Amino acid sequence: MTQVQLAGTGMTTFGSHPDRTGRDMFADAGLAALEDAGVPAGDVDELFYGNFVGTLSEGQGHQGPLMAEALGTTVPSRRIESACASSGLAVHDAVRAIRNGESDVVVAGGMERMTNMGTAGATKGLASAADDLYEVRAGVTFPGAYALMARAYFDEYGGTHEDLAHIAVKNHDNALANDHAHLRQEITVADALDAPEIASPFTLYDACPISDGAAAIVLTTPEYAAEHDLEANVAITGAGHGGDTMALHDRQSLSKTPATRDAAVDAYDDAGIEPSDISVAEVHDCFTIAEVLALEGLGLYSHGEAIGAARRGETRRDGELPVNLSGGLKAKGHPVGATGAAQVAAIATLLDGTHPRADAVDDATVGVAQNAGGTVASATVHVLEVME
């Protein structure tokens, strides 16, 4: 099976870009990734592009060929939609295309433009990732849904809002060095606890912002990389994709995420590693409780143990397992179609030493990226390793 080399990464700043179009932002990210890789657009064989609400936010369907054109090519392309896991799944499918021998060079990434919809419009658009018949029509939004998951977790395992506040503080601190981050501001535990309540137990700082942005990566075969003398020292060695029921009421537990667990098992088996081999992680923290659920779903913590990890310092920059050194969705931002690719790009640059927080993991050789859709009805997990 062909090894998948990661040759380049590109990203826009995440934030509010009211005067930019989706194609404009993806062009910036995709062309930056190609330039970083040293690969001309004419050598790209396929584009895998993640996007969730583009038909609502820009009235634009059929975005695959549009985004290929933005990169200066007309290669076969496809838009992949899996809610907030859209570009995580785009990366997953791109890995398969390289491994199966279908392509030598692929671009995988995604884009989302949401701030132009306003808070109410974006909230409504994002809610379509839940079950319309049984959840959306009953008034469920994602702050409410994740709040239910947090309360279920507290009921089963314990924990407090202060534990979640430590996660927010950590991720805001990590984002201070990230030029691409949406929220580059320091906060305290008191700030997080005293902020306006949005859905008990959450306050404003438990939630990620509504963001615009794009991210892309370039994947190649070892043969192409060697022939073109590319610096591609990081490889995606494991890929997994898991699923769960859409509606929360159909699940056996609201405090566990089987989609992440199943994706992680597949990715670890694929890479031939154990959770204990992982030195750094980027996980899907759309709400602070989501970081807890992700760490436990990934097998990095036992159930009930990750809730205190940030408070204990274990997942901070100087901890045993630094998590979300980019700032995570919480502070880096969450343009949903771009998030999965951005997470993979963050791990790649942390491992190759070019990330602004790479000094925290200068000896790391194995990292993991976990991307979730909706209330983790879908999830992707990718293992990245430094290659000798």
Catalytic residues: 84, 334
Coil, helix or strand for 32? helix
| 311, 160 contact by CB (below 8 A) | no
Chain centre to alpha carbon of residue 98:
21
Residue type, 370: Q
Q: Which of 330, 362, 325 is nearest to 347 (CA)?
A: 325
Cα 128 to Cα 83, 200, 259, 331: the distances in Å are: 9, 22, 19, 23
Exposure of 43 by Cβ count < 10 A (0-12 exposed, 13-18 middle, 19+ buried)?
A: middle
What is the rounded CA–CA span in Å between residue 269 and residue 135? 35
What is the rounded CA–CA span in Å between residue 20 and residue 18? 6
What is the rounded CA–CA span in Å between residue 95 and residue 267? 12
What is the rounded CA–CA span in Å between residue 334 and residue 146? 16
What is the rounded CA–CA span in Å between residue 51 and residue 113? 9
What is the rounded CA–CA span in Å between residue 375 and residue 359? 33
378-386 sheet: strands from edge to edge: 77-80, 46-50, 105-112, 213-220, 4-11, 234-243, 378-386, 366-373, 280-282
CA angle 196, 56, 19 (to 5 degrees): 75
What is the rounded CA–CA span in Å between residue 181 and residue 15? 7
Token pair for 169: 């503080």
